[in-house]
Homo-oligomer: A and B are copies of this chain.
């Protein structure tokens, strides 16, 4: 892959002046990478460990009013399991009462004669009840089957602590005894979960006065979501993917600024992404920490690369850490330079300018056209990057980028905005979507009034592309706030995130469509992540705009 990626870069270099320049320079960041990697390592937070024991045994109950049709009902105290032979109670589900990320340990005790054979137990850990009640095989998901947290252990020695080596995330543990010798007996003696996070509740900002019970509940679940995703990077989801994506970093950072305020983690992530950028200077959309830090080669998403700049600006504003911002300025500048290469002569972003359209994340929704959205996002990033440039004394770039933003805004109004309908259209078929309006508002393509009209228009439409994931909902709420639709912002936040709370969420989900609880971008909702970073931003909204969300 590395080779073909280089060929791809070389091809790009021939087509794109900036790319060609990068190519001539070889490794764009050669002299800085090592220093950045060291700073990323130096900012790695320590993980706080907390031990939780189950609160009791539960039973899965089918209920078509419950989320995904299953709910858990408390049945017996743990003593009902601990007090009998595991052979007499070969299947049970324990409830830890909360979402946790970390390691599961159990202890089996010999109660009769001597262990003379290994035993086999399947442990299945779950974030939500449906994970324990949906047939796993034959497996239908498009992501790896191994993300499902079912582990079958051959246990050669009991009467000692046994820890499942894999890190787990969830609340419910199903235990199924699959094999044991008839010649001895044993019971479950104890179990516990060593939860870990780099977030510390002691540093939490208090909730603003006047928050309703609903808002309080949403805030609590959002805080737990962020808490679980704050490990040694901002992970996207502790159950699945377990890595650092730029898009999640930005949203987690916003939430962190308004809750735990542990900015070293942001610093670490900004440096880590920079140290692992491609040779041509473009950021990878996501990186892994283990075994050694490395990127997902070939993963470039231009919307995410531009969001990096906004994250860097937010970091600087939150911390006044000019040293880091100056260090990483070159990265921010490079992402803008790269994006500029996709503009047509008309100053419209063309994702297919060099052949196959490049990858733009934005949302999971099928059929959603991203071209108006990226036009808006790039303008928004240019404005934020200009602010960063100003703060760092780079007046030339600030000026150039503001000018470009203005030109792109004008182009957008000319080519994308349908004044008559009052909405921004996207793509060759003039698609109308929520997100096209959202990004037009966030980028000031539309003014406040126009923004209100655009959003109210799509809200009233039936056949419109609406957001598919909380990640996109974040920007929708932000746009509502920006264009003065405050009532709408609050109602939608309460309706969407509050809907998850009502359905029993301990943490907010990766995917949530109130119309379709089985929605999955992976063809199997069991492998959706039910604790997902990009769903945690209600904390940010509630704390930043108390007059809107806590009046």
Interface residues of A (CB under 8 A from B): 1, 110-114, 116-120, 139, 142-147, 151-152, 154-157, 160, 166, 178-184, 240-241, 243, 288, 290-291, 294-299
Contact = CB atoms under 8 A, between A and B. Distances in A.
Contacts of A119: 144, 146
Contacts of A145: 120, 178-180
A120 B152 CA distance: 11
Given A157-B291, A160-B291, A291-B160, A179 B144 contact: yes
Given A144-B181, A145-B120, A146-B119, A294 B1 contact: no
A114 B297 contact: yes
Contacts of A241: 116-117
Which DSSP category, helix, strand, loop or mixed, fits chain A's interface? loop
A179 B151 CA distance: 13
B154 A154 contact: no
A143 B117 contact: yes
Given A112-B1, A113-B298, A294-B114, A146 B157 contact: no
Nearest to A284: B114
A304 B291 CA distance: 52
Contacts of A166: 118, 154, 156
23 contacts: A1-B110, A1-B184, A113-B296, A113-B298, A114-B288, A114-B294, A114-B298, A116-B243, A117-B146, A117-B147, A118-B144, A120-B144, A120-B145, A139-B178, A144-B179, A144-B181, A145-B179, A146-B155, A146-B178, A154-B166, A156-B166, A156-B290, A183-B296
A295 B114 contact: yes
A113 B296 CA distance: 7
Given A116-B243, A139-B179, 19 more contacts: A1-B111, A1-B113, A1-B114, A113-B296, A114-B296, A114-B297, A114-B298, A114-B299, A116-B288, A117-B143, A117-B147, A117-B240, A118-B147, A120-B145, A144-B179, A145-B178, A146-B180, A152-B152, A156-B166
